Amino acid sequence: MALITRHKAVIAVLGILVIGIFSLVMADGAFLPKKYLEPWSGTYHTQFEDPRVQVLAHGMLSPNSHNLQSWKVVLEGNDSFLLYVDSDRLSPKADPPGRQVTISQGTFLEYVRIAGEELGYETGMQLFPEGEYGPDGTAANLGSKPVARVALQKLRENETGAGTENSPLYDAMFVPDTYRVPYKETKLQAEDVEKLEALSTENVTIVIFQAPEDLEKLGDIAFRAAEVEAGLDRIQVEGSELFRPNEWQKNEFRYGFTMEGQGLSPLKVHVLQGLVSLFPSMNSPEASRDSFLSQTESAVENTPAYALIITKGNSRTAQVESGILYSRFLLTAADMGYAMQPLSQATEEYPEMAGLYKEIHEEYAGENETIQMLIRVGVPEKEVPPTMRLDVMDIIEV
């Protein structure tokens, strides 16, 4: 009788486990195809006949603020298009003037340019063909004028890369753009630093720091800035609204934040997604703040180099040009084996950040210069998965 009772107990426990696992899988949607990763396929662009759509499909992979992918495209004629900020996807609490979203237009344009070159097209780009939009970050202002007009022109047969291997920058576009994991202690090689800093242009400069005093100073600024942001409910709420807790929502929205960004293993991601979906209170503001600060602390303690992207002035054109340079910097560094993660908080422009914004500028920027980006750089201790991306047709107005 006791043996039968024990068998029944074991069967009951197994039944509970099966039900629990089934509930987690259903809540997470682990069985769903990951449509939000389709743009990362090297053949994704080939389904489209229009070469403009083909290059735009590559632009979808570019790094962008808060993974909002705030791009909107209007096709013109047969060979050109206009790029606008999509004012329906903004982060006004963390990015009040829309500076970061403007930088994200530049990152997109550089990916488009590289893809066009690889596919045999010259991409003529005119920034702000109708003049710059204003300095405020309202949706009405940011969406009021095109950021760029891009025209494709087919190169002559002997000018194309047809029949040759892909360029290193093109291949690097298919590598995840942000690594939030710890980096090895390995310093950047001197010749690599020289090559990366040489990407600087007349108006936009890349400066790389590896000296211990700079690592300590910039890391300290980055962490204190994260503490400021973590303490602001309005920004935490804005971020939580962009969090996609399971595969269902990832496929539905295809932009925002996910657990993969925290450097977790795929199995742990699916387990936690299922748990958070079943018990939303697990993703409380307090838990999110603690996770954010812990992640930032680990990042600054495991960073062998920082980089600053600095512009002359802070015009909208300068912001777009800094995004263009950041993409070039990121892809060139990726080809060298380095990874990056922007630590944007200290460069953000809301009242509570004013002190740290002033501090980093007084220490590292000259007169009339603006630090557009603070970035950690190094060799990652592990690989990370790619992040969600919209379908290219989602950004094209028809």
- What would the pLDDT profile of 318-353 be if each residue is shown by its tens digit? 999 999 999 999 999 999 999 999 998 999 999 999
Distance between CA atoms of 28 and 251, rounded to whole angstroms?
12
The pLDDT value recorded for residue 163 is 46
- Phi-psi map region of 391: left, alpha, beta (phi>0 left; psi -120 to 50 alpha): beta
Q: Which CATH class is domain 41-175+386-397?
A: alpha beta
- Fold observed for domain 190-378: NADH Oxidase (3.40.109)
Answer yes or no: are the C-beta atoms of 147 and 85 closer than 8 Å: yes
281-302 average pLDDT score: 85
Beta bridge partners of 81: 75, 150
The pLDDT value recorded for residue 12 is 57
Closest CA to 103 of 394, 371, 382, 380: 371
Say if 41-175+386-397 and 190-378 have the same CATH topology.
yes
165-175 average pLDDT score: 92
Model confidence band, residue 308 (pLDDT cutoffs 50, 70, 90):
very high
Distance between CA atoms of 60 and 69, rounded to whole angstroms?
7
Each domain of the chain, given as residue ranges in start order, spans 41-175+386-397, 190-378
Surface-to-core class of residue 383, CB atoms within 10 Å of its CB (0-12 exposed, 13-18 middle, 19+ buried): exposed
Distance between CA atoms of 220 and 361, rounded to whole angstroms?
14
Surface-to-core class of residue 26, CB atoms within 10 Å of its CB (0-12 exposed, 13-18 middle, 19+ buried): middle
In this structure, is the dihedral angle defined by the CA atoms of residues 160, 162, 168 and 173, taken in order, positive or negative? positive
Closest CA to 201 of 320, 334, 113, 376: 320
Per the prediction, the chain carries an average pLDDT of 91
Angle, CA of 318, 322 and 323, to the nearest 5°: 120
Beta bridge partners of 347: none
29-38 average pLDDT score: 93
pLDDT tens for each residue of 212-245:
999 999 999 999 999 999 999 999 999 989 999 9
Residue 370's H or E segment, with its range, is: strand 369-378
